[in-house]
Structure 1
Amino acid sequence: MAIYLPELSAHDVSFPAVQSALTEPDGLLAMGGDLSPARLLNAYSQAIFPWFSQGDPLLWWSPSQRAVFAPDSLKLNRTLKKQLHRYQLHFSVNTAFAQVIALCAAPRAKQPGTWILPKMQQAYLQLHLQGYAHSIEVWQQDKLVGGLYGVQVGSLFCGESMFNRLPDTAKLALIVLQQHLQQVAPGWIDCQMPNPFLLQLGATPLPRPDYIVLLQACAKQQVPASHWRAGPLAPELLDA
């Protein structure tokens, strides 16, 4: 069956109403346009994000359910505490954004391809340079072994991707992210589409209308730019 998708203009960064997104595949909203900072920021402010593979047109999505971590929902359990001390890990913010996104894009054992194509990497690097996209890094000595990146919309962190080079380091990065956010904000994290991994970690599926209410409320609560200043994160952060 043929799918009709609105095609975005190269000169207009607006989007169709998210209520017009398809139900199959869930959330597919539009195609085309570009990955300029202005369009990306407009997308995130309306519960929309880009996701496409090599050879596909640029596709934009607003799924009917979002995977969201509520404040205080990410905790350090006994297993993670053991991993933290076993590998002698430490953490930082925004010190290796380009490396984090490149490692998120690297082939994985059960996923040889990637949707984080070079033009996606460049687009989010531009958002990072403008102060809108951020990374959390996990280090073992001077080796980057885990991390994540995403886009900040007010007090809501919209996570894009994460990676492990040691067991559980992506989980630890997620916990550190929420603890870091909760120093200045409630600590909401959006992880886009629900999947078994996110649900096992404690993510809650949130219907699109409810997510939009949350997004609009968070957009009014700004996080100080200084909170994302590049540097190490306090060792006691995980004890919070």
Structure 2
Amino acid sequence: MHAPVSHAIPPQLLLRAYRAGVFPMADHRSDEEVYWVEPRERAVFPLDGFRVSQSLKKALRQDRFRVTCDRNFAAVIATCAEPREEHAESWISHRIEDSYNALHQAGHAHSIECWQGQELVGGLYGVAFDRVFCGESMFSRADNASKVALAWLIAAMRDAGYKLLDCQFMTEHLASLGAVAIPQAQYLGLLKSAAGRPTMTIPASIARYSDSPSPGKLIVQSLTQTS
């Protein structure tokens, strides 16, 4: 357990940065410095273009995971910050982790969790403002767990009137799910067009699905209406 960083980034400063198309990163887990990133090219998910594979459809329809929103934000970001084989160092420093936990407490950062019993086996977290959600990181400890979390997020965003899902940097994995790369200038235009309040918060939209006897089937139905 690390000591809380006293110089966490203030929530309002983080939100101003995101509204300007900029986000913070760090060089390693214990780095107390952050640098502000404005990519030349941005990866985004068209909300009607998420690719639902047959294996993902099966996992969703079977309700293989119990899905929640904001049940344990701190655990999700802490797990995302753990070392991975493909990344020797995490860009989620303790300072960044503390900053997003504070942003979550302020109501502008959300997590989606996938559970098997009482075990957290997958999830994602990101920043919400206006009709925008900026996905930060995800993890999976069971087949399709992070994809299920992403499917729930996209269905919830569509139902709640969100317009833009940012996923920062393009990867082969994101491209296989339907993400597209656009110039930063175009991304800034999409940010402006997504100003305004959604009809519902992401936690409220997730809760509507969770209250269904067969939430996964509703998620598949929602995602395949136009995809």
Taking structure 1 as the reference length, the TM-score comes to 0.79
Q: 1:173 maps to which residue?
A: 149
> What percent of counterpart residues are identical?
35
Deviation at 1:153, TM superposition (A): 2.1
Question: Any conservation in 2 of the 1:179–1:187 contact (CA below 8 Å)?
Answer: no
Whether 1:95 aligns to 2:77 is no
Q: 1:48 maps to which residue?
A: 22
Cα distance in 2 for residues equivalent to 1:87 and 1:224: 24
Cα distance in 1 for residues equivalent to 2:80 and 2:221: 27
Match of 2:142, SS? coil
Taking structure 2 as the reference length, the TM-score comes to 0.83
Question: Any conservation in 1 of the 2:45–2:178 contact (CA below 8 Å)?
Answer: yes
Instruction: Structure 1 unaligned segments of length 5 or more: list them.
Output: 1-32
Q: 1:38 maps to which residue?
A: 12
Q: 2:220 maps to which residue?
A: 238
**What are the residue-to-residue correspondences of 1:198-237 with 2, within 5 Å?**
198-225=174-201, 227-229=202-204, 233=210, 234=212, 235=215, 236-237=218-219
Structure index of larger Rg: 1
Cα distance in 1 for residues equivalent to 2:220 and 2:115: 15
**CA root-mean-square deviation:** 2.2
Cα distance in 2 for residues equivalent to 1:184 and 1:110: 34
Greater relative contact order structure (CA < 8 Å, 6+ sep): 2
Cα distance in 1 for residues equivalent to 2:191 and 2:66: 31
**What are the residue-to-residue correspondences of 1:58-137 with 2, within 5 Å?**
58-84=34-60, 88-137=64-113
Cα distance in 2 for residues equivalent to 1:120 and 1:102: 11
Q: State the aligned residue count.
A: 207
Letter in 2 for 1:166: A
Residues 163 and 96 (structure 1), Cα distance of their counterparts in 2 relative to 1, 3 Å cut: same
Deviation at 1:239, TM superposition (A): 3.0
